Every structure is written in structure tokens, then in C-alpha cells.
């Protein structure tokens, strides 16, 4: 390669490196405030995802608890049998007012409230609870409502259902 060709090639490289450096400096200089907005946006997004994970898990645990309380209250209500009818004819029949009272008594014993209905020989209990959020409150969701529902009816038998 000749000396002239080297100078031309070297000049070309220097020229492009200078242009690139000038462009890079002007690009970084014009970025005032954008990084702050980006960081704030990413921080809010991360907090929202962490909130969904933490508070979603806690709300799911609260829902499991509400379902368990509803199941136990329904079983307590299903024990309100009309013993006179059972002894006379062998018919399993609930006393609706007593079933409702026993289910409500169980719910108050565990420190919650719910709706209790008795239809025929079935006791249905619905428990509604409110879970206060921890991280989602930072993004405007202060509480989550969870519902648990269960039904029970009396059956004969100890280990298996008898006719």
C-alpha cells in the first residue's frame, strides 16, 4: 500500500471517528431528564409486579381461609337434625332456624360473618372477607375482597354413606 493510500484511508477513519464521537456526545447531552422518567416508570412497574405477587398470594391464602370457614360453618349447620322425625321415621330432615343459628354461631366463634341459607336438607354458607393490600396500596389498590362458599347436607353412616 502506498503512502498516499494510507493517508487517505487514515484520514477517512479519523474523520468518521470524529463524526461518531460528536454524534455520541450530542446524543448523551440531549438526554437530560429522560433517565429519571425511565427509572420512575420501571420502579412503578416493578412495585406493581411485586405487589401482584405478594398481595395476590396473601389474597389467595385469605380465600382458602374463607372457604374453610364456610365449609366448617355449613357442616355445623347440617348437624341441626329434627331428631323426632329421625327417630320416628328414619328421615333426615333439618330444622332450618336451628341450622342457620348453628352456622352463624360457628362463624361468630371464628370471628367472621357470612350469609347462611337453608334449602331443603342443604345448608349453604357464603363468607366474604376483605384483604388489605401491602404493596398494591402504593399503586392505588387498597383492598381486595375474597369470597368463600360451601354447602353441606346431613348423611347417614360413619365411614360410608348409608341409604
- pLDDT (tens digit per residue) in 55-90: 999 999 999 999 999 999 999 999 999 888 888 988
Q: What angle do CA 159, 79, 107 make, to 5 degrees?
A: 115
The DSSP output letter for 94 is B
Q: Which residue has the cell 362463624?
A: 107
For 30-136, where are the alpha helices, taking DSSP H only?
A: 34-77, 83-89, 96-109
pLDDT per position as a tens digit, 105-143: 999 999 999 999 999 899 999 999 998 998 888 878 899
> Residues 79, 81, 86, 87: is their CA dihedral positive or negative?
positive
pLDDT top residue among 77 and 156: 77
Which grid cell sits at 63?
380465600
> What does pLDDT average to over the chain?
84
Which grid cell sits at 62?
385469605
CA 102/CA 104 separation, integer angstroms: 5
Which grid cell sits at 1?
500500500
Mean pLDDT on 40-67: 90
The DSSP output letter for 124 is E
pLDDT given at position 16? 72
Amino acid at each position: 500500500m502506498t503512502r498516499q493510500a494510507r493517508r487517505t484511508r487514515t484520514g477517512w477513519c479519523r474523520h468518521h471517528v470524529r463524526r461518531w464521537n460528536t454524534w455520541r456526545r450530542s446524543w448523551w447531552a440531549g438526554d437530560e431528564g429522560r433517565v429519571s422518567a425511565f427509572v420512575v416508570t420501571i420502579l412503578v412497574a416493578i412495585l406493581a409486579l411485586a405487589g401482584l405477587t405478594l398481595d395476590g398470594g396473601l389474597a389467595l391464602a385469605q380465600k382458602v381461609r374463607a372457604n374453610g370457614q364456610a365449609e366448617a360453618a355449613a357442616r355445623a349447620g347440617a348437624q341441626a337434625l329434627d331428631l323426632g322425625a329421625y327417630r320416628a321415621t328414619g328421615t333426615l330432615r333439618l330444622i332450618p332456624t336451628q341450622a342457620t343459628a348453628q352456622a352463624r354461631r360457628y362463624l361468630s366463634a371464628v370471628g367472621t360473618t357470612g350469609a347462611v341459607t337453608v334449602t331443603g336438607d342443604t345448608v349453604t354458607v357464603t363468607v366474604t372477607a376483605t384483604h388489605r393490600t401491602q404493596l398494591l396500596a402504593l399503586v392505588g389498590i387498597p383492598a381486595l375482597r375474597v369470597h368463600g362458599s360451601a354447602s353441606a347436607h346431613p348423611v347417614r353412616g360413619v365411614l360410608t354413606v348409608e341409604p
